[in-house]
Structure 1
């Protein structure tokens, strides 16, 4: 099994395992974390299991193309969210990030800290050229996280996200390996 650990000042990111099922199900079941997410709230834990099993299988491949990481507090080892990094076609040498943080940990800098670490991992370890992200235009919290981490808003896609509230526009963000990265 491949072991990946990305450590920040307050967090540790590691590949998810089936032992994370209960915590991931709780995270996916929170209405506030579902508001800007296209996944939807799972009906039962078996639905969550069917969602994460392919992620776990992907994490076990020799060459991972879709990293799914658990975010834990470094001090207590408490699960506080998920982070994803999907690697695109090798020719374009880019990845796309996504994250979902438990609402108890919002507005505390955990998402920004984790995003900066994953950006560093993408550029320094995976040697990516470009890392992208998207978020609903009304998701102010996520917009702040992306911009604090140094990502640049590049555009707007109209009515691309099927949210519970209806179709939403999406802001596209990116950072290049040559861009100056923010560390604080």
Structure 2
């Protein structure tokens, strides 16, 4: 760990303690922490745990976002400094303070290991309540590719979306050359519905994007 990143990591600990202890001047932050206990913050599968992000996850997430392999088909871009990742994770955590929550982000970890290894991140972003719709995205470390973890985590999130959030439709987007993600989306029962031309600003240039979706009736009909 670089010295600068270690210093920033300690700063997050101080920020966490400050937000959880201060009084009326920081009611919003205090309310966010108190709200966590009333919101679904963990999903479990046979091999994985999906938990809400915490300050201690920042360096693992920063490493995930900094890899050329995980950035290839992603529009977020590689962060230049750890502060960029800090801001992203801060937004994820603050989203749990909303009433109702409209953005669920989960850190994926192995649960069958003596040390709970970091696998990646997965999220569900809710749209208008009237349409009961949401969009899912995920990012997994290269050393965990080919293990079925992305499929397992996505199935769990889809189950959460339909059974607990009572969604009608869950969508996902995927660069047309991202064959691994295409396989994952189709394995969980998502159907390809269309193609948008040159909409993704990737490092390799503008890319077409496939639109995928699964309906509640598709899921419950299995």
> Normalized against structure 1, the TM-score is what?
0.95
List per-residue Cα deviations over 1:3-32 (Å, max 9, x = no partner).
521111110101111111000000001100
Aligned pair partner of 1:144 in 166, 169, 183: 183
C-alpha deviation, 1:182, in angstroms: 9.5
Bigger relative contact order (CA 8 A; separation at least 6): 1
Alignment of 1:1-184 (within 5 A): 1=36, 2-76=39-113, 77-180=116-219
CA contact (8 A) 1:156 1:171 kept: yes
Decide which structure has greater strand share. Answer: 1
CA contact (8 A) 1:150 1:182 kept: no
Change in CA separation of 1:22 and 1:172 when aligned onto 2, cut-off 3 Å: same
Q: How many residues align?
A: 183
2:160 alignment partner, SS class: helix
List per-residue Cα deviations over 1:40-72 (Å, max 9, x = no partner).
100111111112211110023342101111001
Q: Which runs of 5+ in 2 are unaligned?
A: 1-35
Decide which structure has greater helix share. Answer: 2
Larger of the two Rg values belongs to structure: 2
CA contact (8 A) 1:150 1:181 kept: no
> Normalized against structure 2, the TM-score is what?
0.80
List per-residue Cα deviations over 1:113-141 (Å, max 9, x = no partner).
00111000000000000000000000000
